Amino acid sequence: MAVLLPGNIYKHRVFCYSGNQVAINTRYFQVVSVTSGPINEDAFIAKLDQLLAALYKPCITNVAQYVGSDMQNITADPPYPLQVGTSANSGNGTAGAQPLPSQVCGIYTVLTPMTGRGNRGRVYVPFPDQSFNTVTTPPTPNAAYAAVLNPLANATVGLVTYTITGVTISINWAIRHGPHSPGAGGITDTIDFRTRQAWATQRRRGDYGRPNPVPAP
């Protein structure tokens, strides 16, 4: 069973589901330190998923589901090891029961110390509820949505430390640079986030689009 080692880089995915549409949020992190370890990947993803499930569910309508999350060590060259994941904390959202169209998302931007588009990232948080919508023209996220989105964003930016059965693990959430950007394939640590006072759109998971099922394990 693989253990977390300082320097390891992981791809992390969160899965949410509504109707026949899945939403996948992909992030990256690097292990900074493991104290009083070791700790295996299964134990770490179990803890991380428990924390993220509690932050995602208030952001999504209660007719959608938080499904679970997984992570994959991408430190070395491909082929990478298999993903390690869990659905132990799956369950319906805890917002209202009037979903906005499934292509509508909340959005926050993650920032690094570097400038330029290649040094920022966006996270599209799926399946918000009508109770989070203003009655303005155009509609925008209200203060109630900001109150649940900000803690989620804060938990997935910068240096974060977790304690699991006496082991202390510190990770840095990061962005991974695309193949055509400076530093292609590398990562840069994130330091902050900025929420948007607008809804975003993911047309590929629209109400009238093709079915988009949860990937098989």
Is residue 156, in this structure, part of any structural domain at all?
A: yes
Is residue 163, in this structure, part of any structural domain at all?
A: yes
User: Secondary structure of the chain in the HEC alphabet?
Assistant: CCECCCCCEEEEEEEEEECCEEEEEEEEEEEEEEECCCCEHHHHHHHHHHHHHHHHHHHCCCCCEEEEEEEEECCCCCCCCCCEEECCCCEECCCCCCECCCCEEEEEEEECCCCCHHHEEEEEEECCEHHHECCCCCCCECHHHHHHHHHHHHHCCCEEEEEECCEEEEEEEEEECCCCCCCCCCEEECCEEEECCCCEECHHHCCCCCCECCCCC
Is residue 116, in this structure, part of any structural domain at all?
A: yes
Is residue 24, in this structure, part of any structural domain at all?
A: yes
User: pLDDT over 90 for what percent of the chain?
Assistant: 74
Is residue 62, in this structure, part of any structural domain at all?
A: yes
Interval 58-100: pLDDT, tens: 999 999 999 999 999 999 888 899 999 999 999 999 999 999 9
pLDDT(173) > 90: yes
Predicted TM-score (pTM) above 0.75? yes
Interval 195-217: pLDDT, tens: 988 999 887 776 666 666 666 55
Question: How many domains are contained in the chain?
Answer: 1
Is residue 216, in this structure, part of any structural domain at all?
A: no
Is residue 3, in this structure, part of any structural domain at all?
A: no
User: d(Cα 121, Cα 118) in Å, to the nearest integer?
Assistant: 8
pLDDT(111) > 60: yes
pLDDT of residue 197: 87
What does the pLDDT average to over 126-148? 94
pLDDT of residue 205: 76
pLDDT of residue 180: 57
pLDDT of residue 175: 92
Domain that holds residue 140: 9-205
Is residue 213, in this structure, part of any structural domain at all?
A: no
